[in-house]
A and B are shown apart, each in its own frame.
Chain A
Amino acid sequence: MNGFGLLLRKEIQEQTRTMRLLVVAIVLALFGITSPPLAKYLPEILRAVAPGQVPPGLIPTPTTADSVAQILKNVGQFGAIAAILLAMGSVATEKERGTAALVLTKPVSRAGFLVAKLVAISLNLLLGTVVACALGYVYTAMLFETLPPAGFVAMTLVLWLSLVVYAALTFLGSTLARSAMAGAGLGLVFMLVTGIVSALPNVGRWMPEGLAAPASALALGRDPGDLWGPLAANVALIAGCAVVAWLVFRRQEL
């Protein structure tokens, strides 16, 4: 992978210059801040919106598990959207504009070109996920109870891994496609497929969507069950996307 370090620096500089780093961190931070109070005050909000229509006892008293579930759901959903937005044009736009051909005239390999992009997107998502989960942790402690920090860190990393899978799927779409929108479309189709597979019994827990339950268990200090298998499957999915993208990209005329 010739020129990987150089290309990675270029990608990170571009993420900073285009504000993507800041914007993704801010969007995810917003969901990190708002998820615990949403979990805490949802019953009261519902009672205020529909006074007299919510029978007492219908909505259970919110718990720490609800706060963690809100964080995982909100940061997970909007993180997935951020992953698509970051990856959709990463290769397709550079092919469209001819900048990929220009960069590859330098002594850098096509594999290095692709991996640098995927790693930069993953680092961007890592920053956003860490910021969001750190804020979510603080506000969960303020509104509910203090959770074991190690478990919350583990949850953050599992959540991040699931977002990197979505980024890798869209990244593959971006490599196959000629435009950013087509790349995003392909990424969405791939995500739809993992979503459908995740609903299947036995296989579902191996998909990125299946990581939410063990991530929640980790945050709450409970036994996550068999976690290593699903983690390995998701890492393999990311690696598989990168390899297929490389096999396609090395034969593409730029």
Chain B
Amino acid sequence: MPTLGELLPFLIPIVIIQLVLLVVALLDLFKEERRVRWFGKPVWALIIFFVNIVGPLVYFFLGREDV
């Protein structure tokens, strides 16, 4: 199996992507004018925060009113 050191070049960009998605999605969610679908804003915040990578993507594709 590959060691952690071998995997770091792949893990680092994925972690950066996760952090960028998390911050951008949360900033977008908490805009005053943002309207969301299916759930309320607190539930979306939990989904974005706790479901790595997929959570923010689901929010962007399905949660936002204008997408």
Contact = CB atoms under 8 A, between A and B. Distances in A.
Interface of A: 18-20, 22-23, 26-27, 29-30, 33-34, 37, 41, 44-45, 48, 85, 135, 139, 142
A26 B28 contact: no
A34 B9 CA distance: 11
Nearest to A142: B9
Contacts of A18: 64, 66-67
Interface in B3-61: 7, 9-10, 13-14, 17, 20-21, 24, 28, 53, 57, 60-61
Contacts of B61: 23, 85
A155 to B, nearest CB: 21
B1 A44 contact: yes
Contact of B2 (A22, A23, A44): A44
Contact of A30 (B7, B14, B24): B14
16 contacts: A19-B24, A20-B60, A20-B67, A22-B24, A23-B60, A23-B61, A29-B13, A29-B17, A30-B14, A30-B17, A30-B53, A33-B10, A37-B10, A45-B1, A85-B61, A139-B9
A33 B7 CA distance: 11
A27 B14 contact: no
B51 to A, nearest CB: 14
A50 to B, nearest CB: 14
Given A26-B21, A44-B2, A48-B1, A19 B60 contact: yes
B16 to A, nearest CB: 10
List the 8 closest A-B pairs by CB distance, nearest first: A23-B60, A37-B10, A44-B1, A33-B13, A26-B17, A19-B60, A41-B2, A48-B1
B13 A135 contact: yes
A33 B57 contact: no
A146 to B, nearest CB: 16
A23 B24 CA distance: 10
A44 B3 CA distance: 12
Contacts of A29: 13, 17
A33 B14 CA distance: 8
Contacts of A23: 57, 60-61
Given A26-B17, A48-B1, A37 B7 contact: yes
Given A18-B67, A37-B10, 17 more contacts: A18-B64, A18-B66, A20-B60, A22-B24, A23-B61, A26-B17, A26-B21, A26-B57, A29-B17, A30-B53, A33-B10, A33-B14, A34-B14, A37-B2, A41-B1, A135-B13, A139-B10
